Amino acid sequence: MTATRQQARKEAEDELKLKVSEKEQTISSMQKQIEDLKRRAEQGSQQLQGEVQELELETLLRTRFPHDNIEPVPKGEFGGDALQRVHNPLGQPCGTILWESKRTKNWSDSWLAKLRDDQRTAKAEIAVLISPMLPKDVEAFDLVDGVWVTHPRVAIPVAIMLRQSLIELAVTRQSSEGQQTKSEMLYSYLTSPRFRLRVQAIVEAFSNMKEDLDKERKVITKQWAKREEQIERVMQATVGMYGDMQGIAGKTLQEIEGLEMKALEEGNSK
């Protein structure tokens, strides 16, 4: 009777352990699902914040500059948030400004190179990066590596300044149309932002190529030195083994071309 009770108790305990294990697995699975949902929600929230920020920038520019065309950057074409196509009061096009807005806690210099590439792709005369975190020594706004960097609080004054410079430049170009010789046209092109951007792109490409080449040269030199040392060790060991065998076998050991001279050189160097 006692054995029967113990067996029943053991079966009950095993069944309880099984149920507890199943519940623990269920809880673990639910926790993973919850964490996955949280991660997706955070990613969606960040994406939504970015989209809202882009819309705020577009609305702000449209409200302040009603004569200009403010266009969102098509997804997948190039970076940036908005293109401001500047027009004078007569509706004539004067140039383009590429805008990008960041909302992060840390500044990154990599943003500048990326935005310059986007500027060239968009064929914009000016690129502006808005960020609450600015590079070192920049208090409100400044031109950093060819990109205008500005704090959000002074973004509109900066936009007014840059927009007016495009309008004045367009007026200067229009007034000289029909009066330029080929040399003057060439000089105008060589001193234009378009030419500067193209040269800058070439310089950046060559600089990156040179950095990659220097890195490859260092790696190859290191590998070559290592292999040369390994080969030298193998040769020394082979000559030593040949010398040992020659000492044992004497002249009955057939000569091996190359090792005789190597052994002689080893002997003279000692």
Distances in Å between the Cα of 71 and the Cα atoms of 95, 163, 208 are 14, 16, 32
**CA–CA separation, 117 vs 111, rounded Å?**
10
Question: Beta-carbon neighbour count of residue 129 at 10 Å?
Answer: 24
| Mean pLDDT, residues 162-167 taken together | 89
The more confidently predicted of residues 227 and 119 is 119
Distances in Å between the Cα of 2 and the Cα atoms of 145, 232, 263 are 88, 82, 90
pLDDT at 203: 61
| Mean pLDDT, residues 119-143 taken together | 89
Q: What share of the chain is helix, strand, coil (3-state, %, to 5)?
A: 65, 10, 20
- DSSP states of 151-206 as a string? -GGGHHHHHHHHHHHHHHHHHHHHHHTTS--HHHHHHHHHTSHHHHHHHHHHHHHH
pLDDT at 41: 47
Q: How confident is the model over 25-47, as pLDDT tens digits?
A: 776 776 676 666 556 645 544 44
The more confidently predicted of residues 4 and 104 is 104
pLDDT at 74: 77
For residue 85, what are the β-bridge partners?
69, 96
The more confidently predicted of residues 114 and 38 is 114
3-state secondary structure of 104: coil
CATH topology of domain 51-179: Trna Endonuclease; Chain: A, domain 1 (3.40.1350)
| Mean pLDDT, residues 141-146 taken together | 89
Q: How large a percentage of the chain has pLDDT more than 70?
A: 64
**CA–CA separation, 22 vs 75, rounded Å?**
47
Task: Tell whether the model's pLDDT for residue 85 goes beyond 90.
Answer: yes
Question: Residue 61: CB partners within 8 Å, gap ≥ 6?
Answer: 68, 70, 82, 84, 99, 159
Q: What is the DSSP letter of 74?
A: P
3-state secondary structure of 149: strand
**CA–CA separation, 217 vs 210, rounded Å?**
10
The more confidently predicted of residues 2 and 152 is 152
Least Cα distance to 232 among 265, 204, 206, 257 occurs for: 265
pLDDT at 183: 62
Enter the tokens of residue 226: 């290592």
**CA–CA separation, 190 vs 178, rounded Å?**
18
Domain extents in the chain: 51-179, 212-269
Worst-scoring range by mean pLDDT, 14-28, 46-60, 198-212?
A: 46-60
